[in-house]
Structure 1
Amino acid sequence: MSLDLHIILFLLLRMAIAAAFVVSASVITERAGPVIGALVATLPVSAGPSYVFLAIDHDASFIAQGALASLPVNAATIFMGLVYVVLAQRQSFAVSVASAVGVWIVLASIIRLFDWTLAAGLAVNAVAFGICIPLLAKYRHVKMPLVTRRWYDIPFRAALVATLVAIVVSTSGWVGPRVSGLIALYPIVFTSMMIILHPRIGGPPTAAVLANSAWGLLGFGMAIAVMHVAVVQLGSAAGLMLALCTCVTWNLTLWWRGRRAMNRVRKEP
């Protein structure tokens, strides 16, 4: 397969997968609420295909080092979510999204200045989530407004997400390797959810989705750590599969615990 064809297929795959998951998450959010939507949104939609293609072209050691770079950036993503959630309560769509993206860029740029170990990456995530999860808790429970769906909604959302993915991926070709690595880890799904849901259902309900995503994003960080260790010990294919299983199992556990808690509340007199 030629390099150009490889790049085109990679771009189209990321566009299709991201669009499918983000559109599904937005529809689920409108129908089932922010909790379920958040669980779908925190699956490895964007990072997963990226690592699969990297594994095709590189050895396990390269993938392990890439995971180390991704782990602290996960901490930047939760701070991005916190900034958006707080601002979206009162500020406009443009201010909320631009501020959140700006914070992520600044934090991720700082993170990339250092060489990270697994212990340091886990420590940064522990501190970030220890700060953000309690602060996000009060924004998690918001009633979803009733929305009338128009015939062009789903095609428009899919095109919007696919366009965003195309811009992010293609931009990396001319900005240099350092910024390119930064762009590869950009949280496309979070940004897409903001762009799709905020104008449609408002700031607080959209913020509730991201607030509920905190625990799922914590599981994504654990999956990255699992991948770093597993690819060296078991090879790239097994390591990637274990990371995916970690992420899916974590989200299913969150869903199960949420259902149990809801059932207990309903049974109380």
Structure 2
Amino acid sequence: MLHLFYEAWPFTLDLIPKMVLIAFMVVASTSLAERAGPVIGGLIATLPISSAPVYYLLALDHSPAFISDAAITSFSGLVAAGVMLVAYIFLAQRAGTVVSILAALVIWALATVLLLGLEVHPAVSVAAGIIVFAGGTVLVRRFGNVPLSSGHSKWEDFALRGLAVAAMVAGVEIAAAFAGPETTGIFASVPVTFIAMMAIIQSRHGGPASAAVMSHALPGMVGVVAAFLLLHLTAVPLGNTVSLLLALAVSVGWSVFLLALHLLGNRHRHVAG
């Protein structure tokens, strides 16, 4: 037993700082989203705040082939997260926080299994992604205009978010150490940022307000999904560093583009008014 402890100790010392750092980043971003309103909050939620550091850490210790295989699995998991968001938006209009989130998570798990089973060719996954995000955005558009009430998060809220993210980071690192790229990709695509935001925002501001944030997150997810597809296609020919930088640029660039469209639209409405 003591021998196993000494073998695991270096891994634990390396894992704890990663858990703390990434959890802090996610907690800070969700707190900002809570104060910024549904549109900005939704775009913040789709930034690769948890997945980018996780994949960076994986790339330090794994081959481009491993990263490529994990990325396509994460791609399917994120398309499934799009299905989850659509389901949650409808559920949150009437159901409570626990019921809405648990039901949405079950739907995410089922959709992930289904999409992984369809991974006979990347084109199939891309087609599924287009259907989910294009169709879903149209379906939930009418739920996006509910404002968030004023107020500040309690320290318990911050602790809940931080613990959830830290647990995800630990799961990904352990999966990468003891399992293959497919399992790692599934863990890395767990929508922990969305779950944390759903739990806090719905409990504090109500289901319709939380659903409004998620309705704006859905089109923002297109950039993240495209980034993982790009990572899958470029990791082997370009290497981990270049492919990760390209994927990050696509994800962040798409969010900036959507934010610019939103600000431009507000400006035109203000001038017209």
Q: TM-score range by the shorter chain?
A: 0.7 to 0.9
Correspondent of 1:13 among 12, 18, 22:
18
8 Å CA contact 2:70–2:184 kept in 1: the answer is no
Q: Give the percent of matched residue pairs that are identical in Structure 1 and Structure 2.
A: 29
Correspondent of 2:194 among 190, 193, 204:
190
TM-score of the aligned structures, taking structure 1 as reference length: 0.88
Q: Which amino acid aligns with 1:18?
A: A
After TM superposition, give the deviation of residue 258 of structure 1 in Å: 0.5
Distance in 1 separating the partners of 2:50 and 2:244: 14
Which residues in structure 2 correspond to 1:129-140 (within 5 Å)?
129-140=133-144
CA RMSD of aligned residues (A): 2.4
8 Å CA contact 1:47–1:185 kept in 2: the answer is yes
2:261 paired residue number = 257
After TM superposition, give the deviation of residue 260 of structure 1 in Å: 0.5
Q: Which amino acid aligns with 1:251?
A: S
8 Å CA contact 1:26–1:196 kept in 2: the answer is no
Structure 2: gaps of 5 or more residues: 1-6
1:92 paired residue number = 96
Q: Look up the SS of the partner of 2:220 in the other structure.
A: helix
Q: Deviations over 1:144-182 (max 9, x none)?
A: 2122x26xx2x4333212221344455675997676653
Distance in 2 separating the partners of 1:116 and 1:49: 29
8 Å CA contact 2:119–2:125 kept in 1: the answer is no
TM-score of the aligned structures, taking structure 2 as reference length: 0.86
Q: Which amino acid aligns with 1:111?
A: L
Q: Which amino acid aligns with 1:247?
A: S
8 Å CA contact 1:231–1:239 kept in 2: the answer is yes
8 Å CA contact 2:224–2:251 kept in 1: the answer is yes
Alpha-carbon spacing, 1:8–1:200, altered in 2? closer, same or farther (3 Å): farther
Q: Deviations over 1:75-105 (max 9, x none)?
A: 1001111111111111111111111011111
Which residues in structure 2 correspond to 1:46-65 (within 5 Å)?
46-65=50-69
Structure 1: gaps of 5 or more residues: none
Give the stretch that moved more between structures: 74-83 or 56-65.
Answer: 56-65
8 Å CA contact 1:222–1:246 kept in 2: the answer is yes
8 Å CA contact 2:97–2:207 kept in 1: the answer is yes
Which residues in structure 2 correspond to 1:77-88 (within 5 Å)?
77-88=81-92
Q: Deviations over 1:6-46 (max 9, x none)?
A: 4553454244323433x333333343211111111111122
Distance in 1 separating the partners of 2:64 and 2:249: 18
Which residues in structure 2 correspond to 1:201-220 (within 5 Å)?
201-220=205-224
Distance in 2 separating the partners of 1:98 and 1:126: 25
Distance in 2 separating the partners of 1:84 and 1:48: 24
After TM superposition, give the deviation of residue 111 of structure 1 in Å: 2.8
Alpha-carbon spacing, 1:263–1:205, altered in 2? closer, same or farther (3 Å): same
8 Å CA contact 2:201–2:210 kept in 1: the answer is yes
Correspondent of 1:101 among 102, 105, 115:
105
After TM superposition, give the deviation of residue 64 of structure 1 in Å: 1.2
Q: Is 2:92 the counterpart of 1:70?
A: no
Q: Which amino acid aligns with 1:52?
A: Y
8 Å CA contact 1:42–1:220 kept in 2: the answer is yes
After TM superposition, give the deviation of residue 66 of structure 1 in Å: 1.4
Which residues in structure 2 correspond to 1:239-254 (within 5 Å)?
239-254=243-258
Distance in 1 separating the partners of 2:120 and 2:141: 29
Which residues in structure 2 correspond to 1:120-199 (within 5 Å)?
120-147=124-151, 149=152, 153=154, 155-170=155-170, 182-199=186-203
Distance in 2 separating the partners of 1:45 and 1:58: 21
8 Å CA contact 1:226–1:243 kept in 2: the answer is yes
